[in-house]
Structure 1
């Protein structure tokens, strides 16, 4: 049985002798050949070469062709800010600040000739020919709620309270785009369509059922009718939404380190949905040693009582600078679990003590808004929580202070531990947790700030 067959059996809910493995190497793929994120996401040849290097080094069961949630948004008029070591982020939302959701772009559906789509489709076809017999290929599309947020900005969160019917109609439009993108990618040879919608972690299960259940159910049914498999990919603390996500009938769900994998698997098993995850992106993959990565994989597999319906993967898009030896160590732990367990039986990870000084919250001159993120440049949920904080800063000006702490920096990992930050993203005001994995509405955040003003 080759690696592709291993993954397909897992997604068809069959027993396997070994767990399937998917390295979500987006811009990290470029780092393997010295290409930065702007190159690997815009140049067909550099993207193809980088993906082939991932395939050679990391021996995947499944592999994404591109990990960029801004492809569709760019086609629809969103301005992007590009970075050397991360996917682009949306800098301008065409529908932000408008009175309603009526707009000329409302009827626009990207075509195979729009934006970077032709380049992506070419790489998909080339990858299918080169490795499609041994590796399942993933086409990643932007989920309807995250796409709606790219277009509308943080206003979408208030819309869900103020104009429910308009939101339902708007999400139907965004879902039509997702369905069309799935068609393009399946036609280009993709075995699995991953609907990546990180902002699902930022809403309640009630709002999910009200606004998201119908479009996602329709989308996964459409993918199934087209003969492909599906994954519902969500980042952040989506714990409260795992069950309602399962009810939309994806073939699999992918989660990150914010979610308790073992608790989530009990839910997904109830619905016979496969689950993928969740090697920590920063503390283990980026900042850990090769032994740390090997040990994490072995320990996870040892704790997992039932490995049916399980796919091992990083929690989300791998950071650009993950050391290649760390991922190779994870691969070795999958293929040689018993030998690696023996090698590491006496290994204890070094506890790097980094001293951080917290503000004197009891004696602040003005309110302090602290946003703890994975990285607002790469994590969509973090982007929009940080966007809410920036909007508050514009409203209050010098009357408040605001700072972001990115978890990709070692000192900020230590700060999170000292503060007891439960999940990312989270927002604190004067040292107190106010918004946890939930993008605040403008009025709610402003009220929370005014409550602590002297």
Structure 2
């Protein structure tokens, strides 16, 4: 009996053994690339978003499919200024709570912002492919939403104003429940809070401020009869077990996390693990063989008869990801044995770009280097870079602040030459300060002063 993609995802999420892993291409902005639309068109034009999603379904044969990958949607409704990009997701430009300790009271309605577009497209997509493809409804998780509203001050609040953090988290959790209900009302199969900034906090902070809200969210989704997934980008290794304890049906992680090791933890809780084909080094800059090889290696690294496993890109795919590369990943998941034969003796290609590192021993002034994925597309990177910029504002021309993005070849080569283990990371004078942890600005200022 041949399973539909939707049946496959349901069986995986119900912890049944299946003939292969599930397959979900996280094609947000990339969906528009398939049809020749820029990212702004995808996020603002319902017809173009619908056409793009239908093309994703046609070209990549997914088991499950995201409807819209936009972590700024709620922030825009709640007062943040959002800048739209041609080849990437929107980004938040300001934080309305940066200079006030007020807690908003506004709740969202289906008529707010771009939600009518989301509802319209969801209904049309469900009608066309909802019987054969599991639909994933994504929304901005409460901690990242709080970061959008509060800005970098939120990371000071964690120590200096914890009562405020609890209040803003309670508010953002209510917004999350409203977004979950919006998708539930439309019969969406899997409800997904996406909270990249969560990877940047410590386990004690997670336990104190996030465990309760997330348990409430996942209990609510389960009570309503839908599946859930907890999606955290960045190096979430240190909080995987805590994420499991909040009770989602599945976790989604990116390439910063060792999937086989993480799966040992999720298996203990009987939770599905999803991930994590590298976005840039493999999907964006690799070739077809690289993508097949990386996918096969990932599948073969997990000895579990395909139970509780979904293969997906590490996060929202880069806009201009070559179509043939994603087809290669799809082929490797859907036809694993044949794909394994194709790359039996193949070695992954390497990025060969020469870069010269600064002479750290003879710098004229302190240098902060931010190694990022993409500060416009990755929320964790956005706030890591924002703290670095705040430090620049504090010290002015007494320090240098530089950013490197893991979406261009030279910066990838530089990241590798520096042996940067996790992104985002912050270095001072060539020495690691913060690895996948967004710093408190006050602490960063002290460290820079000590280096002067």
Q: TM-score range by the shorter chain?
A: over 0.9
- The match for 1:382 is 381
- The match for 1:360 is 359
SS at 1:451 equivalent:
helix
The offset of 1:12, in angstroms, is 1.1
- The match for 2:61 is 59
CA contact (8 A) 1:124 1:189 kept: no
The offset of 1:122, in angstroms, is 0.5
- The match for 1:83 is 85
Q: Pairwise mapping of residues 241-320 of structure 1 onto structure 2 (< 5 A)?
A: 241-306=239-304, 307-320=306-319
CA contact (8 A) 1:27 1:67 kept: yes
CA contact (8 A) 2:286 2:349 kept: no
Q: Distance in 2 between matches of 1:293 and 1:73?
A: 35
Moved over 6 A (4+): none
CA contact (8 A) 1:332 1:340 kept: yes
SS at 2:292 equivalent:
helix
- The match for 1:43 is 45
CA contact (8 A) 2:136 2:191 kept: yes
CA contact (8 A) 1:297 1:330 kept: yes
TM superposition score normalised by structure 1: 0.98
SS at 2:246 equivalent:
coil
Deviations 1:32-66 (A, max 9, x none): 01101100011000000000000000111100000
CA contact (8 A) 2:351 2:409 kept: no
**RMSD between superposed Cα atoms in Å:** 0.8
The offset of 1:333, in angstroms, is 1.0
How many residue pairs get matched?
449
**Counterpart check, 1:192 vs 2:190:** yes
Deviations 1:58-106 (A, max 9, x none): 11110000000000000000001111111111101000022x2x15xx1
- The match for 2:400 is 401
CA contact (8 A) 2:266 2:273 kept: yes
The offset of 1:350, in angstroms, is 3.0
- The match for 2:420 is 421
The offset of 1:352, in angstroms, is 3.5
- The match for 1:328 is 327
The offset of 1:146, in angstroms, is 0.4
Stretches of structure 2 lacking an aligned partner (at least 5 in a row): none
Q: Distance in 1 between matches of 2:92 and 2:235?
A: 22
- The match for 1:27 is 29
CA contact (8 A) 1:233 1:254 kept: yes
The offset of 1:346, in angstroms, is 2.2
**Counterpart check, 1:448 vs 2:447:** yes
Q: Distance in 2 between matches of 1:22 and 1:320?
A: 16
CA contact (8 A) 2:9 2:134 kept: yes
CA contact (8 A) 1:24 1:64 kept: yes
Deviations 1:214-261 (A, max 9, x none): 000000011111111100000000111100000000000000000110
Deviations 1:290-316 (A, max 9, x none): 110011111111221012101000010
